[in-house]
Amino acid sequence: MNVTLRTKPISGNRLSLYLDFYPAIPHPETGKLTRRDFLGLYLFEKPRTELERTHNKTTRQLAESIRSSRQLEVQAGRYGFLVKNDKPEERKDFLTWLKVQAEAEKQKKSIGSRNNWMSVYQHLSHYAKGALFVDELTEEFCKGFRKYLTTAKALNATKSSNATIAHNSAVGYFTIFKTALSRAVEEKLLEENPSQRVKRIKRKETQREFLSLAEVQALAKIDCDLPYLKKAALFSALTGLRYSDIAKLVWAEVRDDADGAYLRFRQKKTGSEETLPISGNARSLLGERGNETATIFPQLLYSSWQNQKLQEWCYKAGIMRPITFHAFRHTFATLQLQSGTDIYTVSKLLGHQDLSTTQIYAKIVNEQKRAAVNRISIEL
């Protein structure tokens, strides 16, 4: 008894994958002999893009895994899989499709977004125990996955540990899951979005770590084992730029004129074009102008080792709490508001598209003011 993986041309430059049984096997309900078992999977006949090549590779791996399983089943005389496959269009593999979507993010979005999509794939695979077909995607399944992400039972499948998922990470993961389902509807993988009536996970307000002006000045006077990291971090504190935008900054985006220096760049996170004036202090950190296409901070590559060196630099300056690179962007926003810059201007300097995002910093400053006035009291 042989089970062979074969293809059949279908519309849209695609090949439908099916299993060929020789000799033919009987359907367990009708007794009718059959040679074919269509898997509801397809390949691109002539893949033109990296995405299509990735799809072909992962789909063929899945199909081969199914073939091996079917070989064992038919040798044992078990043909029950034919009953489940009466409607092959309902047995399309969702996990394989989602992995292809996660791989596609590599081509068009930031590292963070790419990793988040892959994390969703890993968590969903963990929750579904490694197999998930589109007909299993129901509203109840979506509610269950939502609960999985927001409870202690949701182990961090992206790491080999029992660490639970941070609440706001769960918010992002479930949002991506709902986005993926909407995309699946657009691509006609699903007839309707089963998560449409399932509420999103509500984001919790998190504490934003920032540095005082005295702490920034202390850091400026202390050497860092990675001088380029020190310059980049202080540049963020003076401009409010994100790590992702500093890491890709090239000289062509730095303009020097009689009125002072400014940046003309596209935000990596939002894709919006920005014009950002920078102080002479910030401009001096960049040094002498180089080739227009040259990256200003070529050594700035995200790594745990670099993060460790950042923390060690802070410790040397007497700052003992955990500090990330993003804290320098928070520092810029907070110091601007403390010095009297209006919230609308700060919002524009940060490149925020929604003023409510900037208001988080205003709340921090107001709390500081309240704490300051309460330090002085008299007995009445």
Ordered per-residue pLDDT tens for the chain, 380 residues: 899 999 999 876 788 899 999 999 998 888 889 999 888 788 888 888 877 888 888 888 888 988 998 999 899 888 888 875 444 444 678 988 898 888 777 665 454 455 688 889 989 988 888 888 888 899 999 999 999 998 855 554 444 444 567 787 888 899 999 999 998 888 888 889 999 999 999 877 666 789 999 999 999 999 999 999 999 999 999 999 999 999 999 999 999 998 899 999 999 888 889 999 999 999 999 999 999 999 999 999 888 899 999 999 999 999 999 999 999 999 999 999 999 999 999 999 999 888 877 888 888 787 777 777 787 878 87
Q: What are the two backbone dihedrals, phi and then psi, of residue 203, each rounded to the nearest 5 degrees? A: -70, 140
Task: Measure Cα distances from 90 to 276, 318, 335 in Å.
Answer: 52, 61, 56
CB atoms within 10 A of CB 99: 22
- The residues of the chain that CATH labels 1.10.443.10 are 213-373
CATH among 1.10.260.40, 3.40.50.970, 1.10.443.10, 3.40.50.10860 for 213-373: 1.10.443.10
**Global pTM exceeds 0.75:** no
In single-letter form, the type of residue at position 50 comes to E
Q: Which two tokens stand for residue 74?
A: 């038919």
For the chain, where are the alpha helices, taking DSSP H only?
Answer: 50-75, 81-84, 94-108, 111-127, 139-150, 167-186, 213-221, 227-239, 243-247, 280-286, 304-316, 326-338, 343-350, 355-373
Q: What integer pLDDT is reported at residue 156 of this predicted model? A: 46
Q: What integer pLDDT is reported at residue 255 of this predicted model? A: 95
Q: What CA–CA distance (Å, rounded) separates 380 from 369?
A: 23
